Chains A and B, each alone.
Chain A
């Protein structure tokens, strides 16, 4: 039982490049979400999904796209990376009223 798997663990991008951060879960959780963690800012919600085909914006959605074609996967896309998107990104899932369950994060640096 892997839980929440995030890939890659580390990534360096140049400004303007695009990439997709992957999140996969094997717990059959309906709710999936993406947070970014920055020093002094805590964890801020980017996008979330309550089920396949349903997504919505969180606190800081600008510059990010998401889609949810299956229950298991919730990729986060950066279409044109900016230095302000340098951060650690966490995928988190839950089922019903269960606590949020986090992956181990992707550390992204944009130069």
Chain B
């Protein structure tokens, strides 16, 4: 059962453009929503995360927008750069607790063309 749905599967953006990746979750108990970035041959690494007490979180060129009523959240990459080319995974879980399990989306392969 896929509890976190991610789209698009792949994305091509020109340098300087905005990249947008969307995710939707089903479990209303989830209250922790991270995004991970993965480069080829490496493991995923945390990029940015949000809790439902805010509707938006920004770190540099990366912004998470969160819509609790729609059970959706998205990653926006402003001024996209070729170095941003990677696979991006959204994820969701309950926050805190030793046994909370992080459920991942299916991933988005982003290519930023120079």
A90 near B99: Cβ-Cβ < 8 Å = no
Interface size bucket, B side?
20 to 34
B43 near A102: Cβ-Cβ < 8 Å = yes
C-alpha spacing A96/B49, complex, angstroms: 16
Residues of B within 8 A of A104 (CB): 41-43
C-alpha spacing A4/B25, complex, angstroms: 29
Residues of A within 8 A of B45 (CB): 102
Whether B9 sits at the interface, judged by CB under 8 Å, is: yes
**B residues 21-56 with Cβ under 8 Å of A?**
34, 41-46, 49
Q: How far is the CB of A105 from chain B (nearest CB, A)?
A: 6
Among B49, B95, B101, the most chain A Cβ lie within 10 Å of the Cβ of B101
Whether B60 sits at the interface, judged by CB under 8 Å, is: no
For chain A, the count of residues having a C-beta within 8 Å of the partner chain is 26
A105 near B43: Cβ-Cβ < 8 Å = yes
Q: How far is the CB of A54 from chain B (nearest CB, A)?
A: 9
Out of B42, B43, B96, name the residue touching A92 (CB < 8 Å). B43
Query: A90-B43, A100-B46 are known contacts. Are A42 and B99 too (CB-CB below 8 A)?
Result: no
| 23 pairs, CB–CB < 8 Å, chain A vs chain B | A35-B104, A40-B9, A40-B106, A42-B4, A42-B6, A42-B89, A42-B106, A43-B44, A43-B104, A43-B107, A44-B104, A45-B102, A48-B101, A50-B98, A50-B99, A51-B98, A59-B103, A90-B43, A90-B44, A97-B95, A102-B44, A103-B43, A105-B43
Interface residues, chain B, with chain A CB atoms under 8 Å away: 4, 6, 9, 34, 41-46, 49, 89, 95-96, 98-99, 101-107
